[in-house]
Structures are given as C-alpha cells and as structure tokens.
Amino acid sequence: MEEDLHHRVSGDSIRRRFLDFYASRGHTVLPSASLVPDDPTVLLTIAGMLQFKPIFLGQVPRQVPRAVTAQRCIRTNDVENVGRTARHHTLFEMLGNFSFGDYFKEEAIPWAWELSTKEFGLPAERLWVSVFEDDDEAFEIWHKKVGVPAERIKRMGKDDNFWTSGVTGPCGPCSEVYFDFQPERGHSDADLNDDTRFLEFYNLVFMEFNTKDDGSLEPLNQKNIDTGLGLERMARILQEVPNNYETDLIRPIIEKTSEIVNVSYDTAVDCSKLNFKVSSRIVGDHLRAIVNLISDGVVPSNTGRGYVPRFLIRRSVRCARWLVKKGGSQGSLKGAILATIAAKAIEMSTNINPDVKDRAPHILEELKREELKFVKTLERGEKFLEQMLVEALLNAKESGNIPCLSSKDAFLLYDTYGFPVEITAEVAEERGVSIDMNGFHTEMENQRRQSQAAHTDVKLSMGNSADLTKNVPNTEFVGYITLSTAAIVEGLIVNGNKVMQVSEGSDADIWLNQTPFYAESGGQIGDHGTLYIPGENQHKVVVEIKDVQKLGNIFVHKGTIREGVLQVGEEVEATVDAKLRQHAKVHHTATHLLQSALKKVLGHETSQVGSLVAFDRLRFDFNFCRLLTDSELAGIERLVNNWVAEAILLQTKVMPLSEAKGAGAIAMFGEKYGEEVRVVEVPGISMELCGGTHVSNTSEIRGFKILSEQGKASGIRRIEAVAGESFMEYINSRDYHMKQLCSTLNVKAEEAKNRVDNLLEELQMSKNEASTLREKIAVHKASVMATQGISVGSSKTVGVLIESMDDTDADSLKKAAEYLVDTLGDPAAVILGSCRGNEKVSLVAAFTPGVVQLGMHAGKFIGPIAEFCGGRGGGKPNFAQAGGRKPENLSSALEKARSEIFLKLSEMESLQS
C-alpha cells in the first residue's frame, strides 16, 4: 500500500498525469525545448512558454491549436536563496498547457481546478486563488462556475497579476492558485505573499490585450492561454514534505551526498549559515542543473551562458568539500567529488530528458575536469580570503565601522583565483562581513577598459591623458556610404603628446572631425588608406594610414607622413583603400553565414565567443565540446557556399534595440548596445546586431573555404577560413601545388592519393627491411662481444656485460641486449649504450630473473646512469631503456654503470650470505 502511494505521488507520476490530463482534452504533447533557447533576448530557457513566444508575438503561425509540455527551465537571478528557502531552484520543471487562439478563461479555469482537486486530490478548502484587480470575468468564473468562496479569491494589482511581453505587444491578466499549509489561521487578514503559509503552484495567464505605442490597451484578435504549474512545488504538496528539496525529485541526490560525506541529512544540526542541510540542498539542486546544462551543450566557460555551469560547479565544489571536511571524510578531498554525486542526478533524468543519460560519459568528464581545475586554486584562494576577512573584522573593531571587504580584495580573488564574486559574498556573509559591490563592478569596468586599450594599442601613457581628449569632438563615421571625404585634422599625437604639426617620415595618431575609415571593433580590423592634401602638380601632403582604433567615440588614425608636413586645422582628403575594405566586407559577411551554418549543423546551442575579421582571412571562436568531423566541416562549407551562390541581397537597418531583439536579431552576450542598433540581415539565413561593414549581395563573397578547425580552450573551438579574393588565391595555390605534385608523380589528380599511399607503403616496407637488417647487424655484433662478459661474485656468479655499440639505434640496442642475456644465461646483467649520429644517446639495461631475485631493478638502475648523459629513463625490474643529449659523456656513464653494478651485486651477495 505504501509503495503504491509513493508511486501515485512521485514526481514522475505528477508529470505524466499532468500531460495525460491535458492530452485527453485535445492538447498535443510537445517535448521540452533545449535549455539553450532560439530567442536571442535571453541567455537560457527561463520559462515554460519561451518556445511558444514567436507564436504569441505573431511572428510565426501556430502548428497546433493547443499544446501541453513539461519544460526544463534554468534561473539564477536568485541563486543566493537556493538551499536556504523551501522553494528556490536553479533547474525546475514547468508543466504548462497552452491555447493559441483556441480556448480561453471559460475552459482554462475549470480545468485548472479539476486538475488540482480531482486529478491530484488537493482539498478544495485549502486552495486559494488570486485574480487581477480589474478582471471581473475571471473572478466570476472562479466564484460562480467553479465554486471557490469569495473570501478565498484575492484581487491583486498589476505588479502581481498582470503579464506583459515588453513595453509594447501581447499582455493580459493572471490568475494564480495557492495551497494553504495553515488553514487553521482562517480567512481574515490572509496574505497570499506569506511564504510560511501559502505556496503558489499554478499560474494562468490570459493573453487578451495588445499594448500600443502610447501605452493604451486594445483587444487581441486571437486570445491565448499560457499556464505554468511548478512540478517541484506540486510534489512538495502531494508528498507532504517541508520543502521542495526533500521531494523524490532532489532528495536522492542529497542522500548520495550524505553517503559520501558520512553525515545523515536528517540528523544534521543546522548550526551556521553554511550548514549541512543548506550545503546538501545546494549540491543537490545545482547538480541537477549542471548535468542538464552540459547535456544541452552549455560548456563551462568565463563568458556568455557558459559562465552559468562554471559558477554552479564552483559553488557546488565549495559546498561539497566543506561537507566532506565537516563529515571527517578527508580522503575524499584528494580527487573529484561531484562526478560521483552527479551520477545519481543522471540516473534520475530518464523521464525528464533521456539525452542526459545518453551523454553521461561526456557530462561526467566535463564535470571532473572543471572541478579539478577549480580545486587547484580553491585552497590558495580560501587562505587569502580568510586573511582578508580577519583583517576586515580587525579593522572594523578598531574603527567601529561595519566590517567590509574592499572591492580590490574581492576583485583579486575573482581575477587571480577564479572566485566568482557571488561565492566570495557568501563566505563573507557567513563571517558577518559585507562586500563593496559597487567598487567591485568599477574594478571590472576598469579591467575591461584597460584590456581594450591594450588591444587597440592607443598609448596615452605620456603627458596628461585627460588633456589629450579635452575639447576634442566625437568623430563622425561616414564610411557606410562613402570611401572618401574631406575632413579637418582635429588633433595630432606623437609619442603620447599633443603636437601642432608632424613632419615627413614621422608616425602620428591623427584625429579627424569625420572619417570614412572603419575603426577596429566587433572583431573587424581597422581600414587602411591615405590622407592627402592636393597641390597644383602633386599632393602637398601624403599620409599612409595603416590602422584605425577607437578612443571612446574618437577615431584614432595611425599613420606615417610620407610627404610634406601635416598640421592641426588643415583640411585633408581621407580615402579608404577600396580593395582592402572589400576584403574585410567579404570576410565579415562570411562570418555571419558561418555562424548560421554552425547552428544548423551542430545545433542552436552553438554560439560565437570571439572573432577576427581581417583582410586576408576570418577567425571564428565558438562554444563546442569536441573536434568537428570531416562530414560536419564539409556540411558547413556546403551551406555557406550555397548561400553565396543564391546571390541574396543583404538588408541593413537602424532600429530600437527592443525592436531588433523582438525581430530575432542575434546579440552577443556581454556586449553593450545603445538604444539604437544597426541590424545586418541576410534574409532567411542570418540576422545580427552588427556595426561592421558588409557586402551588398552574398555573391560578392565568391567562395568560402575552411582552412583549419581546432581547440582554443576548454569547450571552445576555433575555425579559420578564407573568402573572396583570398579564397581564389587559396584555390589557385592549391591547384598549382597539385599540378606540381601530379607532374612529379606522373599521375592524374584523381590518382595522386593512391600513388602517394603506394609510395608510403613502399617506404614503410623499406624502413622495416632496414630496421630488420640493423637488428641483425646488432645481434651479430652482440654475438661477437658475448665472450667479453665477466663473472661477478663467488658463491653465486653473475654474468655481467657492459659495452658501447657505437651508432646502433635504440630498437636494435634492445634486440642486442635480449640476445646477450639469453646467451649469457641466468643470472646475467647486460648494460649497453650507443650514440646514433653523434646526437642522441641510447641506454638499455636487461636483467635475468636470477639478478632480479637478488634485489636488482633495471628501471631504478638505469635512471641515475642516464643523468650522466643529460637524460632520464626507467622501466621494469627486468628491462629498462633511457636516453640522453650528451653523447660526449657516454663512456663515463658506462664506467659508472660498471662500478655501480659490481658494487650492488657484491652487496647483494654479502646480504644473502
């Protein structure tokens, strides 16, 4: 009976019964979308309705009239509450039923009540409802049609019960269902926001209005239903446990943690802010999130969505290791801890996301690598943090101020020891110390600016840098519409100092009031070109521009005065090198096409983490966890070249940021955008926020070829490619070299590979024959020197042979040693050395079983001998090899070997007698 009850209310059964309930009412059951959304406006899937947002916004037509899902979601905005409250999570499942212009309040409300009271058996008298204060229709349905007493229906304001999709767009009132844990407190003064008494578990959104530009509401032609029921919350209610963590959705992971740390979760005493129960809950919650994130392709990194699993892993590592220390299981601290616990989270994932179990080896390997990487700096960082906290407490005691960790100390921990500032804040809070977070963010911003300054090489170290930009207007960029314009020289900088003129042969940084030159940004390098002042017969002044950088909104033209003298205030003609600009445009547009192709071939979770757009090539860094296959690379190239061949006209628009994101434009996470943004679209293929220069038609790209694909960092891959003129040069070069090869081999191009394979096979056969011959020669030499062996010892004589074999290679030296110990018989010890080509020393030691029984070890013996030749080596007791780089010391090493082996064998004989 108990087993049946447990099965009836298990988390898996709640999920299944919810889906079945709405499936029986005409809803199509759709799978959970990835935690990596198609929506560029959000980092991760944060809500059950996210996959349907384009339908609700009218961007795509509906595929089904009504749907039901169990959607995995990730939220980290209130991660500090995880483990400490009863209901906060990073990963959670949102069960939802949706109507796309099909049914509305009259059906949605009674179904929600029927599901709650009949399907799940919740006592009707313990359910409360909230409605939007002006939504009389919902109130009437709940009260008159469903039968909820008026005193258990609360009208609430816009902040609580009105959903919006943005400043403009679809919106509507909400209605929420709450479970009452303390009904004995009655109805008077009941506050639904009281978390100790009420738990909101079901939210119904009635999408019936559109917010216009002027803020007014107009009815939607198609009214929609968007609901969400928290699986973990319903499980807590039905399983009658005090918090979500103790449901069967998370509790088994906590139990696994308890098993490892050797402390019972139930009997642990909560004695501090970071206690056994809180830490165990954090580990249990975070590992569910981590395994799902990595399964969906979110690789831990320092940027973008990859920061989320990295932060969660580091937080889990700290909590898990604290638990191990407190539990006395010190041995577990030597290796990775999380992977063992994560195996339980993976095991429990079958009914949530089967892919997690299929990808278990990759998940566990990634988790282990990330943990061990963090542990290397964790202990050092913890020691530094402890010192900082002690100092903060002492300083506060002396000054009478509130203890506070300085922003510089917090930043040092972040920048040097990899401590997420959130973890530093947690540890500090446990000690009663706050952090100067505003100062920390300032430090981060300073680092970002310094990094940019270093990257752009704008040197302002000499003189007063504040004076350099004083009274200098922003540069107007006209390079989208023209490659040549008249401009006024606003400033000249030489060696970090302002000057009024620069003479021929000097380098200078030049500021203009307007410019057609593109300044390096967004991965695209700066334009090259010329500034000149025309004269009667020839130019009076000629300046060669080799780079353009940005200093705020000032364009810095880095040039060399080739003719004349350039002065502040003069008018110049600024002309961009049109050929090089075209090369950059081609590679930049090809980069956009490459990103779209990667998403199609590898999955939408793949995204850009860095790029370089140069005149001769492009480089694209993206998050991915493995080497791309040849077929994947070929597929990516094929897609890009097909789009090039389709001769698609690009569209460029300037629009509000919110409008661009609403249209689906891809924004780089971490980039800062103004209210107005430039959107570059290849219709049907790519839409990105981008300030770079681009071709007008994809046909200008001419062709695209990947040169290389390789790993750049953990979870980060890099592709280098060429397009346009560089593509043609690459193809022509490859064609030339192929013709040369075919001419040399006297074969057609299609026969070249077979011919090379045959030559390699013949070469290998020749090498094998030569090796065999060398071994025979070495064995022959060994047979001659076998008579030179001497006997050592009186009671038990050992045959010993130590000789040099000139230029014999290492493999042949081994064969010779094997021959000699067989010839000399047991017990015997053979030490041989050689030097091939007066470069590399080879050494080998071979001992028979009788010598090993005496206590001799070939591997331990050969190491010190090899050191004489500037090398090292080792091996088994009976056989070992070594090498070195000092051939001049070979004879000394062999003499050392001779004296050592005589001494050791004599000692062994004495001990045994």
Q: Has this prediction a pTM greater than 0.85?
A: no
Residue 576 has a pLDDT of 97
Contacts of 511 (CB under 8 A, 6+ apart): 472, 475, 489, 490, 491, 492, 493, 554, 555, 556, 557
**Cβ atoms of residues 605 and 554 within 8 Å:** no
The domain limits of the chain are 1-248, 269-453, 476-576, 594-732, 785-911
Beta bridge partner(s), residue 91: 74
Residue 663 has a pLDDT of 81
Residue with tokens 């041995």: 331
List the alpha helices (DSSP H) in 825-857. Answer: 849-853
Residue 454 has a pLDDT of 31
**Of 446, 431, 318, the residue nearest 382 (C-alpha):** 318
- Render pLDDT for 845-874 as a digit per residue (tens, 0 to 9): 999 998 888 888 998 899 888 888 888 888
Distances in Å between the Cα of 700 and the Cα atoms of 35, 479, 583 are 37, 19, 10
Distances in Å between the Cα of 880 and the Cα atoms of 829, 843, 893, 894 are 12, 8, 15, 15
The vertex-732 CA angle with 728 and 734, nearest 5°, equals 120
Name the DSSP letter for residue 716: E
The beta-strand segments (E) located in 760-807 are 790-792, 798-804
Distance from C-alpha of 343 to C-alpha of 347, rounded to nearest angstrom = 6
* Pairing label, strands 514-515, 476-477: parallel
Residue 272 has a pLDDT of 44
Residue 60 has a pLDDT of 73
Distance from C-alpha of 368 to C-alpha of 385, rounded to nearest angstrom = 25
Distance from C-alpha of 587 to C-alpha of 617, rounded to nearest angstrom = 7
- Domain 1-248 is classified in which CATH homologous superfamily? Bira Bifunctional Protein; Domain 2 (3.30.930.10)
> Which residues of the chain carry a pLDDT beneath 70?
1-8, 40-41, 59, 165-168, 269-274, 327-334, 415-420, 422, 446-471, 668-674, 713-714, 794-795, 909-913
Domain 476-576 - what CATH class? mainly beta
**Cβ atoms of residues 569 and 491 within 8 Å:** no
Distance from C-alpha of 673 to C-alpha of 477, rounded to nearest angstrom = 17
Q: How many CB atoms lie within 10 A of CB 649?
A: 12
Distance from C-alpha of 472 to C-alpha of 456, rounded to nearest angstrom = 19
For the record, the structure tokens of 119 come out as 């399907």
Q: Is 588 annotated as a binding residue?
A: yes
Residue 104 has a pLDDT of 96
Using CB atoms within 10 Å of the CB of residue 57, give its burial: 0 to 12 exposed, 13 to 18 middle, 19+ buried: middle
Q: Is 455 annotated as a binding residue?
A: no
Name the DSSP letter for residue 616: S
Distance from C-alpha of 752 to C-alpha of 61, rounded to nearest angstrom = 53
User: Candidates 1.10.10.60, 3.30.980.10, 3.30.70.890, 3.40.47.10; correct CATH number of 594-732?
Assistant: 3.30.980.10
Residue 331 has a pLDDT of 46
Residue 469 has a pLDDT of 61
* CATH assignment, 785-911: 3.10.310.40
Residue 99 has a pLDDT of 96
Residue 453 has a pLDDT of 36
